[in-house]
Structure 1
Amino acid sequence: MRIELLYTPGCSNYKKALSTLEYIIAEERLPLPVELVENCANEEGEPTVRINGVLVNKAAANSQHCLEHVREAISHKWHEVNLSPLLTA
């Protein structure tokens, strides 16, 4: 499973977003690194999370429930990738 944090060079918000992602991953006890990806095309300048190539819903990610939304997205994808194949076998 691949988790990417897309950020614009010069953006100071990405450090907080990275810290939040690492906190969620540690709390869920998942062995997942966060890859930092420089994104010069992002006009808004806000960091964005991508899980296995799919952007996390920006509308939800910008709401006050951001932490829970990202946690849910990571946890759901982890189960889908790692546990579902075991249950269907």
Structure 2
Amino acid sequence: MPLGRPIRSVNYEDASGHFRIVADTNSMGRALLSRCNVKDPAFRAAARAIVEFEQVGGDAEDVRNKFIDALIEAGVYVRAE
């Protein structure tokens, strides 16, 4: 699977208690789908930001922050710098 557009990395805890590092839009999208409720507004905001960034570019830090917000809203532990 090709990598998505690069974004500053985020460490988060997966369902098995291990930490994962994501640093591109494809990895972030997969993490959202596996850890978040698709009906959650934070999930929707993050997914929308990832798709828009992938298609037309924009502010990578905004996408990263929305991704982190969605994970936190889903109760996922995030180690972000």
Determine if the TM-score, normalized by the shorter chain, exceeds 0.5: no
TM range (shorter): 0.3 to 0.5
Structure with greater proportional helix content:
2
Q: TM-score when scaled to structure 1?
A: 0.36
- Which structure: larger Rg? 1
